[in-house]
């Protein structure tokens, strides 16, 4: 068994803020001085055929217009690595018009705000990254006025469309706030919210200093499979991202009771890629111990196997619990994506050693 690496620095914590469009979520965060991730930047482009519509335009208040997976990826990278690429989304053009690099340095707390913030409560809590979730609750007439003023100044859409949309949202605001509260978000006013953010930053800073007192980590036994292919610039390694997580890793999963690691590897490949391999097709790359990517305070004991070169179709598709797939040039992390510690610290160095 390869000995585990030194523990990574404590990840930054995340506070989520929801509230009606135009209620002042961004203002509250700017007054706190904390790094801000505007979740509105993760809307889908207008030419996406699945986008919902209302009032003759894309319904920006329907969660299906928003890319929760991309938001989760960026927040996970910020929490662990301190930097991520954030889309620059134009509401008036209804599409992404660029990206910007957000770097948060040593700041222990990050704010993510938007009307869909509640969608991130469960995955961020499961990853040990969530410190709190707030909903900004202000009077509906005030919010209607500030929202309309903002939208008109930014020429987001035609004036009549903005008035109709704003009037409808004002009527829906009480129910929306109750829904956010039921999801586990604490209601705050603007000034109270700023004070709360300052207190949460102090808490996150204290937790970082006291991380060394944590109890012994849980250990998970897993099997994983490395798929390689010849890419345009050399050998590429397959990485996948599971639904509700922000890190990429190899195909694989936990061993069932009494199951051999190689049999678990074959089973996971069938479940996640719909590809059938035989146990004799797989070569043991190594036995590794490393920090888990998505479970806080957990180590993985991984039996990692190597599949034959080019054993997957060129346009591999994912299923089951997987949401995304990418091919990474060996030894070169794709920008804006977080790769699991097992992959970066163990698997890639072993493959580079093996392949010369």
What digits encode the pLDDT tens for the residues 277-295?
Answer: 999 999 999 999 998 888 8
Give 299-356 as a DSSP string.
EEEEEEEEPPTT-S-TT----TTEEEEEEEETT-PPTT-EEPHIIIIIIHHHHHHHH-
Whole-number Å distance between alpha carbons of 75 and 84: 8
**Three-state DSSP class for 127?**
coil
CA 6 to chain centre: 24
Burial environment of residue 32 by CB neighbours within 10 A (0 to 12, 13 to 18, 19 or more): buried
If you classify domain 218-355 with CATH, what class do you get? alpha beta
pLDDT of residue 3: 46
Whole-number Å distance between alpha carbons of 332 and 237: 10
pLDDT of residue 63: 87
CATH number 3.30.1490.190 is the correct assignment for the domain at 13-211: no
Give the residue ranges of the chain where pLDDT is below 70.
Answer: 1-8, 55, 209-216
Alpha-helical regions (H) of 135-158: 140-153
pLDDT of residue 215: 60
Q: Is it true that 13-211 and 218-355 share their CATH fold?
A: no
Among 263, 249, 258, residue whose Cα is nearest residue 318: 249
Among 93, 50, 87, residue whose Cα is nearest residue 71: 87
List, for residues 180-227, the tens digit of each pLDDT value: 899 999 999 989 999 999 999 988 888 776 655 556 678 889 999 999
CA 316 to chain centre: 22
Instruction: Please report, for the chain, the start and end positions of each structural domain, with discontinuous segments joined by +.
Output: 13-211, 218-355
pLDDT of residue 8: 65
């Amino acid at each position: 068994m390869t000995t585990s690496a030194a523990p990574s620095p404590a990840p930054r914590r995340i506070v989520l803020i929801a509230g009606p469009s135009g209620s002042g979520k961004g203002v509250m965060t700017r007054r706190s001085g904390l790094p801000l991730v505007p979740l509105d930047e993760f809307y889908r482009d207008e030419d996406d055929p699945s986008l919902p519509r209302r009032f003759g335009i894309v319904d920006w208040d329907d969660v299906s217009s928003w890319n929760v997976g991309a938001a989760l990826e960026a927040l996970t990278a910020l929490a662990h690595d301190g930097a991520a690429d954030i889309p620059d989304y134009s509401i008036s053009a209804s599409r992404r018009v660029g990206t910007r690099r957000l770097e948060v340095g040593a700041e222990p707390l990050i704010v993510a705000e938007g009307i869909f913030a509640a969608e991130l409560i469960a995955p961020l809590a499961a990853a040990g990254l969530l410190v709190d979730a707030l909903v900004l609750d202000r009077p509906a007439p005030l919010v209607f006025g500030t929202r309309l003023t903002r939208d008109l100044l930014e020429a987001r859409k035609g004036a009549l469309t903005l008035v109709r949309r704003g009037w409808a949202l004002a009527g829906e605001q009480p129910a929306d706030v109750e829904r956010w509260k039921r999801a586990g978000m604490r209601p705050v006013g603007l000034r109270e919210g700023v004070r709360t953010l300052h207190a949460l930053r102090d808490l996150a800073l204290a937790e970082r200093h006291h991380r060394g007192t944590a109890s012994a980590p849980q250990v998970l036994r897993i099997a994983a499979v490395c798929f390689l292919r010849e890419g345009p610039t050399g050998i590429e390694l397959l990485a996948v991202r599971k639904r509700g997580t922000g890190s990429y890793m190899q195909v694989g999963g936990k061993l069932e009771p009494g199951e051999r690691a190689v049999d678990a590897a074959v089973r996971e490949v069938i479940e996640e890629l719909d590809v059938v391999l035989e146990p004799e097709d797989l070569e043991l790359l190594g036995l590794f111990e490393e920090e888990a990517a998505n479970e806080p305070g957990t180590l993985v004991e991984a039996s990692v196997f190597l599949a034959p070169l080019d054993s997957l179709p060129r346009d591999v598709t994912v299923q089951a619990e997987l949401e995304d797939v990418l091919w990474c040039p060996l030894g070169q992390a794709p920008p804006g994506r977080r790769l699991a510690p097992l992959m970066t610290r163990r698997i890639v160095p072993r493959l580079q050693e093996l392949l010369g």
